[in-house]
Structure 1
Amino acid sequence: MAVLCKPAIAVPEYVITNEETLDLARQLHGDHPQIDLVLRLIEHTGVQKRHLIQPIEKVLQHPGFDARSITYEEHTRARVPAVVRRALDHAELEPDQIDLIVYVSCTGFMMPPATSWLIGEMGFRPETRQLPIAQLGCAAGGAAVNRAHDYCTAYPDANVLIVACEFCSLCYQPTDLGVGSLLSNGLFGDGIAAVVLRGSGGTGVRLERNG
Structure 2
Amino acid sequence: MDIRKSKVAIAGVAKAVPKYSRTTQEILPLVTQWIAGQEERFQRKVKKIFSNAGVDKRFSIMAPDEVFTATSFEHKNNIYKREAIKLGEDALRSALEKTGWQAQSLDYIITVSCTGIMIPSLDAYLINRLNLRQDITRLPVTEMGCAAGISGILYANDFLKANPGKRAAVIAVESPTATFQLDDFSMANIVSAAIFGDG
1:108-123 matched pairs, under 5 angstroms? 108-123=116-131
Change (3 A) 1:28 1:63: closer
Change (3 A) 1:117 1:57: same
Q: CA RMSD in A?
A: 1.5
1:102 to 2:110 alignment: yes
More off after superposition, 39-48 vs 20-29 = 20-29
1:125 to 2:139 alignment: no
Amino acid at match of 1:30: A
1: distance between equivalents of 2:52 and 2:74?
34
1:70 to 2:103 alignment: no
1:79-158 matched pairs, under 5 angstroms? 79-158=87-166
**Higher strand residue share:** 1
What count of residue pairs does the alignment treat as equivalent?
Answer: 191
Q: Deviations over 1:119-162 (max 9, x none)?
A: 12211111111110111221111111111111111112111100
1:44 to 2:49 alignment: no
Unpaired runs of 5+ residues, structure 1, are 192-211
Unpaired runs of 5+ residues, structure 2, are 1-6
Counterpart in the other structure of 1:29: 35
Counterpart in the other structure of 2:196: 188
Identity score, percent: 28
Contact kept in structure 2, 1:50 and 1:189, CA below 8 Å: yes
Contact kept in structure 1, 2:30 and 2:65, CA below 8 Å: no
2: distance between equivalents of 1:183 and 1:69?
21
**Higher helix residue share:** 2
Secondary structure at 1:186 match in 2: helix
Q: Of 13, 16, 19, which residue of structure 2 is paired with 1:7?
A: 13
- How far residue 174 of structure 1 moved from its aligned partner, in angstroms, is 0.7
2: distance between equivalents of 1:172 and 1:186?
11
Secondary structure at 1:125 match in 2: coil
2: distance between equivalents of 1:140 and 1:78?
20
Secondary structure at 1:131 match in 2: strand
Secondary structure at 2:165 match in 1: coil
More off after superposition, 115-124 vs 100-109 = 115-124
Amino acid at match of 1:26: T
Counterpart in the other structure of 2:169: 161
2: distance between equivalents of 1:167 and 1:62?
17
Counterpart in the other structure of 1:173: 181
Contact kept in structure 2, 1:62 and 1:172, CA below 8 Å: no
Change (3 A) 1:85 1:47: same
- How far residue 31 of structure 1 moved from its aligned partner, in angstroms, is 4.2
Q: Deviations over 1:162-190 (max 9, x none)?
A: 00111111111110111221121222111
TM-score normalised by structure 2 residue count = 0.89
Amino acid at match of 1:136: M
- How far residue 91 of structure 1 moved from its aligned partner, in angstroms, is 2.0
Amino acid at match of 1:82: D
Counterpart in the other structure of 2:3: none
More off after superposition, 135-144 vs 75-84 = 75-84
1: distance between equivalents of 2:74 and 2:34?
24
